[in-house]
Structure 1
Amino acid sequence: MAKRRQEEKVSPHLKRFKYTQDQAIEKPFNWQQMVRMLQYLKPYSKKLLPLAILAMLVSTAVRLAVPILIGKVAIDVAIDGENPTLLTWLVVAIGVLYLLSYVGNSLRIKWVNILGQNVIYDLRKHLFSHVQRLSHKFFDSKSAGSILVRIMNDINSLQELFTNGIINLLMDVVTLFGIVVILLVLSPKLALAIMVILPIMFYISTKLRRNIRRSWQQVRIQQSRLNSHLNESIQGIRITQSFSQEKENTEYFDGVNTDNFESWRNATKKSAMFRPFVEMSNAVGTVILISFGAYLIIQGPSNGGIELGTFVTFAFFLGMFWEPISRLGQMYNQLLMAMAASERIFEFLDEEPNVEERQDAIELQDMKGHIEFDHVQFAYDEERIALHDISLEMKAGQTVALVGHTGSGKSTIANLISRFYDPTKGSVKIDGHDLRDLTLNSVRQQISVVLQDTFIFSGTIKENIRFGRPDASDEEVMEAAKVVGADDFIQRLANGYETEVEERGNILSAGERQLLSFARALLADPKILILDEATSSIDTETEVKIQEALQRLLKGRTAIIIAHRLSTIRESDNIFVLEHGKILEQGNHSELMEQRGEYFDLVKTQFQMLDAM
C-alpha cells in the first residue's frame, strides 16, 4: 500500500519523464541484426579471429579425444587385453593432450579478450562520432542521460558477447556436434535414447525467447530513465535545494529506482528458468544412460549391445553434453541482452542528421559574411511555426540586432544562419550561396556563437579559450583574453591561465564565464559572429568595461546581436523588430525611434523599468 501511495504521488512526474525518454522497440528477433553487429569483427578477421578459432578447435579436439582414449582404448583394449605398456603410453599421451589443451585455452582467452576489447572500442567510437554529427533536432528530443546510457551501458552489455560469447558459442556448437557424431557412431540406440529430451528443451526455450528478450529490453529502458533522472538531479541540485525539494526529489528517484529494480528482477527471474531445466534434463539423461546402458552391456556386442568401455565413454560424453547445452542457455540469455542493447545502439546509428550535407557540397573558403533570408519559413514541428515568410538582408561587415519578445523567432534566425536547422520553406544564403549547397565545416568554422548560457568544459582556463582555435599559441590566447577584458580576473586566479575549472565552470561567476566565451569567439576569428543574449549575465560595470572590447570584437565582421539591453544594440547598423515569427519593423535606432512603433514601445518600457529601479 505504501508503495502504491508513493507511485501515485510521483506519477505526474513519472508520466512526464517516461514520455520524454526511450520507448520500447518492438522488433522481431532477427539474424540480420546479429550479422550487422558481427560486422565489427571484420577488421580483425584476418589475424585475431582465426587465431582464437584455431586455439578453440585445438582445445575442443583434445576434450573430444580424451574420453575415447579412456573408454575405447584404455578399458576395452589395454585393460581387457592386459597390456600395461599401452596403458602407460596412454597415460603419457593423455597428459600431453591436457597440456596442449591448457596452452590452447590460455591463448584462446588472451586472443578473444583482445578481440572483444577492440570491437567494443570501435563500436563506442563509432556511436560517439555518429552522435556528434547529428542535428540539433535529435538532441531536442533526447535527454543527455538517454544518450549516455546508449554509449556506456548498452555498449558495455555487448562486451561479454564479443570477449567470450562468440568464441564460446562456436566452441559449444563444435563440441555438441562432435559429441553427437561420436555417440551415434559408438551406439546409435543409446545415443538416440539419451537425446530424446532435446526436442522438448527446444520447444520450451523457443517459448521463453520472446518474454526474456522483452524483459531485458525493459531493463535497458529503465536504466536509461534512471540515468536521465540522475543527470537532471545533479545538474539541477542548486534549484532543488533553493526550493527545499530534496524530499520530493528523493521520492521521485525512489520511484524510478524501484522501476529499475523491478525490471532487473523480472528479467533475471525469467532468465534463471533455463539452467534448472537443463540440469533436470541432465538428470533424465543420466537415468536413461544407467538403465538402458546397463541393459545393452548385459546384451553384449554380439547381440547388438555395447562394451563396458563404450558405456564409460558415454558417461564421459554425457557430462560434457549437457554442459555446453547449459552454457548455450546462458549464452542465449546473453544474446538476448545483447540484442536488446544492440537494438537501442542501432536505433541511434540509424538516425540521420536532419541537416544533411550534399555529396557535391561546395567548400566556402573565404567567407565575406553577406547573409540573405529569401522567404524563409521554419517550424520545429507541425503545430509550432517559428518563422513566417521572413525575407531580410545583412550586409557583410554590418552589425545587425534582432529584438522582440520571447518566442518572436530571434534565436531561430541565429540557428538557421549557423545551419543547426534547415528552413521548412525558402532559403538562407551566405555570400549568395544557399547554405544547403555548402559543406557544414566550411560554414561553421567561420561562424562563432556566444550564448547566454555559456558552456565551460572541464580543464584549464587556457584550454577553454583555445577551444575556439586549437592550434592557437599561448600568446594568442592571452591576447584574446586581454582584448575582451578577461585577463584581469584570470590573473587574480590562483594559477592564472592554468587554473583548472570544473564541469560547466562552477568556480567562475556568470559574468566571468561570459567573458571567457567572448575570448573564445575572438580567438576563432570568425567572419560572422552571433551574440545570443551574450551580455545578459554581465553586470553594468563589467558591461561598460567590455563595450570597447565589443567594438574591436565586432570590427570587420558581420555581427548578429540578440539582446534586450538598449546599450548593446543602439549602435547597430540595422535593427529587425520581430513578433510571432514576423518582421514588424527594420532600420537603425534613430529611424525606428522616429517611427514610434513597436521598437519605440520596447525602448520606452525599458527606460521606465530603469527609472523604477
Structure 2
Amino acid sequence: MSNKRGKGPMGFGGPMGGAVHGGAKAKDFKGSSKKLLNYLKPYRLSIIIVLIFAIGSAAFSIIGPKILGKATTKLFEGLVSKVSGTAGAGIDFEYIGRIIIILAVLYLISALFSFIQGYIMSGIAQKVSYNLRKEISIKINKLPLKYFDKLTHGEVLSRVTNDVDTVSNTLNQSLSQIFTSFTTLIGVLIMMLSISVSMTLVSVLILPLSAILISFVVKKSQRYFKEQQNFLGHVNGHVEEIYGGHNIMKAFNGEEKAVKEFNELNETLYNSAWKSQFLSGMMMPIMSFIGNIGYVLVSILGGYLAVKKTIEVGDIQSFIQYIRSFTQPISQAAQIANVLQSTAAATERVFEFLEEEEESDNLSTPVDINEIKGSVEFKNVHFGYNEDKIIINDFSSKIKPGQRIAIVGPTGAGKTTIVKLLMRFYELNSGEILLDNTNITSFKRSDLRKVFGMVLQDTWLFNGSIMDNIRYGRLDATDEEVLEAAKAAHVDHFIKTLPDGYNMELNEDASNVSQGQKQLLTIARAILADPKILILDEATSSVDTRTEVLIQKAMDNLMNGRTSFIIAHRLSTIKDADLILVMKDGDIIEQGNHKELLEKKGFYASLYNSQFENSEAS
C-alpha cells in the first residue's frame, strides 16, 4: 500500500489557547508576507479601525489594576487606622464604591471594543478567504493541463481548503492577537515603570530565563509536531486507500495486512504526537514556575519599599497583576511566530498557484467557428510532455470532412495524445494542426472546443439529476431535446425503469448506476452537444457486448456526416472506418482502411489476428 499524504488539521492546541503548527516553513517569509499585505490593501481602513479598537480594548484593560490598587490602598489605610484606634477612623466605602463603578465601566468598554474588533476582523478574514477561493477557482480553469501533470488532485485541493483556511484563521485570530499583545506589552511596561523602576527591572531580568527555556521547548517540539502532521497524513492516506478499495481488500483477504499497516502507522503517529503534546504542554508549567519566582522577588522587594514608604500597599497588588499581564503576551510570542511561519508558507503556496502561467489566448481577430466543415490536417507534428522526451514524432495526416478516422496501436503509442493536441490541451513542440485549412492557434480555445464532442473511457458524471448530467452537453437544451438525445443513445428505456426516471439523483461517484449505463449517459450528452467533430476514446471498452451493440447503433447515427476520431483497442469495432491510422512509439507506421491493412500483413494485421484468435479461443 502506498503512503499517501493526507491532509489533517493544520495545527494542534498549545498552551494559552494558541496553536502550534507542524506545517512547512515559507521559503521567502518576507516576500510572502508582503504579498499578503498587498492583498489586504482594500481592507486597510477596516484594519486600522481594528487596530484602534485593539489598542483601546487593551488600554482600558491595562488601567484597571492601577485603579484597583488605589482601592486596595484605601482599604488597607482604613483597616490600619481602625486597628490603631485613631479617632473617627474607618474604611471609606464611598471611595471604594466609586472605584468599583469606574472599573466596571472600564472593563465593559474594553469588552465592547474587543467585540467590535473581533466582528470587523472576522468579516475581513472571511472576505479574504472568499476572494482567494474565487480567484483559485477561476485560475484552475485558466491553467494548462501540463500544470496538473506535476501535481496530485489532493495538492491542488489543499490550496483551496487548508492553505486558504490557514491564512483566514491567522487573520481572524493571530493578527488581532498581535495588535493586542503588543499594545498590552508596551502599556503594562509603562504602568509598571510608573509604579516602581526597581521592581520593573527585577521583573524584566527574569524574562531572558523564561525566553531561553521556551525557545528550547519550541525547538524540540517543532520537530515532533512536523512528524505528527506527516504521519497523520500517512494514516489518513492509508484509511482513504483501504476504504476506497474496500471490496478489493476484502476479496483478496487483505484485512490482516491492512490492520497491521494501520497499527504501524498509528504507533509512529502516537510516539510523535505524545512527545509534541507533552513538550508543548510544558510551556505553561515553565511560565508558571518563572512567574512564581518573579512574584516572590517582587513581593519581597515590594514589601521592603512599602515599609520604607516608597510605594503604597495597593501598588504591590497592582504590580503583581501587571506582571501576569506582562508575561502572557511574551509566552504567546513563540506560538504566534510559529503560526506566522505556517501562514507565510500557506500564503506562499496560494500566491504561487495564482501566479502560475496561464494558457495564452490573446487573439485580436479570432477565426469564427460557425462555418467549420470538419476537415483536419496534421502537418509534421512533434510533441512531448517533457521537451527532452518526444512521444509524437513527425506525425502527418489529412482527413476530409465527414470521414471516420480510427487510431489504433498498443498502450503508450500516443493515440489519446493526438486528440489532446487537436483540442489544444497541450501546445505542439513543432508542426501544425489545421482545421478547415486554418491553424488551430487562430481560434479561441473556448470556440475551438465547441467544435468537438467527446466520449471518454473514463466517464464523468456529477452529483445531480440524470437530466442535468445529459444537459451538460448543451446547457440551454430543452427537456424535449434531452429526451431525444437519450433515445438516440439508447438510454431512454433504462432511465424510465429508474425510481425517479430523469429526475433521479446520481450520487457523488455515480455508483448507483452501472459502468455501461454511465457510458450511455455520456454518449447522450455528446449527442445533445451536436458537435462538428466527434472524439470517441475507448468509448465501448467498459461495457458488455449487448450494450456495445446499442452504443454502436447510436454512434453510427451520431457519426453520420461528422468527422469522427475513434480510439479503440477492440479492432472489431472500427472495421468500417474510412481511414485507420496505426501508431507505434509516436509514429504512424501504417494507414489505410481495414481491408487494405489486412492485405499488407503488417503490424495492424498481427494486432487484429491476435485479438481475433483470442476472442475465438474464449
Q: Which bracket does the TM-score occupy, shorter chain normalised?
A: 0.7 to 0.9
Q: Which residue does the alignment assign to 2:66?
A: 68
Q: Which residue does the alignment assign to 1:7?
A: none
Residues 257 and 78 (structure 1 numbering): CA distance in 2 closer, same or farther, change over 3 Å?
closer
Which range is displaced more, 121-130 or 535-544? 121-130
Q: Aligned AA for 1:184? A: L
Contact 1:145 1:228 in 2 (8 A): no
Residues 456 and 259 (structure 1 numbering): CA distance in 2 closer, same or farther, change over 3 Å?
farther
Q: Aligned AA for 1:116? A: A
Q: Which residue does the alignment assign to 1:528?
A: 533
Residues 518 and 205 (structure 1 numbering): CA distance in 2 closer, same or farther, change over 3 Å?
same
Q: Which residue does the alignment assign to 2:173?
A: 164
Q: Which residue does the alignment assign to 2:369?
A: 366
Q: Secondary structure at the match of 1:505?
A: coil
Q: Aligned AA for 2:32? A: Q
User: Of the candidates 471, 496, 502, which is equivalent to residue 501 of structure 2?
Assistant: 496
Which aligned pairs between 1:458-473 and structure 2 lie closer than 5 A?
458-473=463-478
For normalisation by structure 2, the TM-score amounts to: 0.84
Q: Aligned AA for 1:366? A: I
Q: Which residue does the alignment assign to 1:45?
A: 44
Contact 2:23 2:342 in 1 (8 A): no
Is structure 2 residue 248 aligned with structure 1 residue 236? no
CA distance in 1, matches of 2:615, 2:73: 105
Q: Aligned AA for 1:120? A: S
Deviations 1:144-169 (A, max 9, x none): 44444444344444453232221122
Q: Which residue does the alignment assign to 1:99?
A: 108
Offset at 1:132?
Answer: 4.8
Percent of residue pairs identical: 35
Residues 85 and 190 (structure 1 numbering): CA distance in 2 closer, same or farther, change over 3 Å?
same
Residues 426 and 141 (structure 1 numbering): CA distance in 2 closer, same or farther, change over 3 Å?
same
CA distance in 1, matches of 2:270, 2:187: 42
Which aligned pairs between 1:104-253 and structure 2 lie closer than 5 A?
104-203=113-212, 205=214, 215-253=224-262
Contact 1:145 1:229 in 2 (8 A): no
Residues 564 and 87 (structure 1 numbering): CA distance in 2 closer, same or farther, change over 3 Å?
closer
Which aligned pairs between 1:259-278 and structure 2 lie closer than 5 A?
259-278=268-287
For normalisation by structure 1, the TM-score amounts to: 0.85
Contact 1:217 1:340 in 2 (8 A): no
User: Of the candidates 512, 516, 524, which is equivalent to residue 519 of structure 1?
Assistant: 524
Q: Secondary structure at the match of 1:469?
A: coil
Which aligned pairs between 1:382-393 and structure 2 lie closer than 5 A?
385-393=390-398
Offset at 1:286?
Answer: 1.2
Contact 2:25 2:344 in 1 (8 A): no
Q: Which residue does the alignment assign to 2:30?
A: 31
Q: Which residue does the alignment assign to 1:282?
A: 291
Offset at 1:138?
Answer: 4.1
Residues 39 and 555 (structure 1 numbering): CA distance in 2 closer, same or farther, change over 3 Å?
farther
Which aligned pairs between 1:408-447 and structure 2 lie closer than 5 A?
408-436=413-441, 438-447=443-452
Q: Aligned AA for 1:45? A: R
Residues 416 and 255 (structure 1 numbering): CA distance in 2 closer, same or farther, change over 3 Å?
farther
CA distance in 1, matches of 2:214, 2:137: 36
Q: Which residue does the alignment assign to 1:294?
A: 303
In structure 1, stretches of 5+ residues that fail to align are 1-9
Offset at 1:270?
Answer: 4.3
Contact 2:457 2:537 in 1 (8 A): yes
Offset at 1:481?
Answer: 0.9
Query: Higher RCO, 1 or 2 (CA under 8 Å, sep at least 6)?
Result: 2
Q: Aligned AA for 2:64? A: V
User: Of the candidates 503, 507, 529, which is equivalent to residue 512 of structure 2?
Assistant: 507
Aligned residues: 590
Which range is displaced more, 240-249 or 434-443? 434-443
CA distance in 1, matches of 2:481, 2:561: 19
User: Of the candidates 400, 405, 424, which is equivalent to residue 400 of structure 1?
Assistant: 405
CA distance in 1, matches of 2:386, 2:234: 24
Which range is displaced more, 161-170 or 602-611? 602-611
- Name the Cα RMSD after superposition: 3.4
Which range is displaced more, 89-98 or 427-436? 427-436
Q: Which residue does the alignment assign to 1:357?
A: 360
Deviations 1:416-444 (A, max 9, x none): 22233333343444445554565432333
Deviations 1:218-245 (A, max 9, x none): 5444444444444433332333233232
Which range is displaced more, 480-489 or 68-77? 68-77
Q: Which residue does the alignment assign to 1:3?
A: none
Q: Secondary structure at the match of 2:383?
A: strand
Q: Aligned AA for 2:106? A: L
Residues 541 and 184 (structure 1 numbering): CA distance in 2 closer, same or farther, change over 3 Å?
same
CA distance in 2, matches of 1:205, 1:445: 62
Q: Aligned AA for 1:30? A: F
CA distance in 1, matches of 2:280, 2:32: 22
In structure 2, stretches of 5+ residues that fail to align are 7-21, 79-88
Q: Which residue does the alignment assign to 1:4?
A: none
